[in-house]
Amino acid sequence: MDDKPVAVITGASRGIGRSIAIYLASEGYDIAAIARSVDSEGMQILAKEVLQKGAEFFPVGLDISCTNCQDEVVKNILGRYGRIDLLVNNAGIAPPQRDDFLGMTEDSYDRVMNINLKGPVFFAQKVAKEMIWLRQHSLKFRPVIIFITSVSSVLSSNRRAEYCISKAGLSMAATIFADGLADEDIRVFEIRPGIIQTDMTMKLKDHYDEIIKEGFVPQKRWGSPEDIGKAVASIARGDWDYSSGAVFEISGGLNIRKL
């Protein structure tokens, strides 16, 4: 096993995933970047940014909802590097239409759940099994799994119910993995972003601008992908080694309960 750690990031080509990849490259990780297309402009730009940090870049094509495709992806990454030190389960989508929950369709529900919940859970399961084997064969190997969820896992938004339900399920998945993998010395964390400037939220920029201005977010600003990247980097450095199962809400204070 080579000494340099390897990070696997899903949904890596843009937004939060892209920022995470760059920060982890700065922390000394080689990057296996997963996206639906390895030929997209976003992946090409990310490759240059990661290489500039002195890290190796391995682009991997995968639709995370294709659970039957995941074994081959894990095998290919291990074949190249012999290890996976950090998995960041970041891939996710918003519903194609923001319908009232009473108008939510089964097709929309299934698509969102397959990409946001089912795919990440089974991908993490496959990686975790490999991490257990690697951990048993190297005391220096200290693996980590991070689930990127959302404040929507605990905040209702009835015009995108399927998204909220998927993220609530992913939050519980993070807890279950943290519990089940503790004896294997595999640390598991949940990062819960708030209103972050990404392609997903830009579709409702005016709405979010207004509610942020009105004080919905106590810190009164948008979050940035870099805010999430820095949090992941802190976990990757080992700053929170005694905190497996912790939830890090990066939301500008949306977690503050007040009268």
Given 23, 29, 81, 163, the catalytic residue: 163
- pLDDT, position 113: 98
- How many CB atoms are located within 10 Å of the residue 41 CB? 10
- pLDDT, position 258: 85
Provide long-range contacts, Cβ within 8 A and 24+ apart, for 138-141.
138/1, 141/1, 141/83, 141/85
- pLDDT, position 97: 85
- pLDDT, position 199: 85
- pLDDT, position 203: 84
Which H helix or E strand runs over 60? strand 57-61
Q: Which domains does the chain have, with CATH numbers?
A: 6-244 (3.40.50.720)
Q: Considering Cα of 60, then 116, then 86, then 198, what sign does the dihedral take? A: positive
- With a cut of 70, which residues of the chain have pLDDT below it? 1
- pLDDT, position 200: 85
- pLDDT, position 1: 59
Residue 81 annotated in active site: no
pLDDT tens track for 51-65: 999 999 999 999 999
- pLDDT, position 3: 83
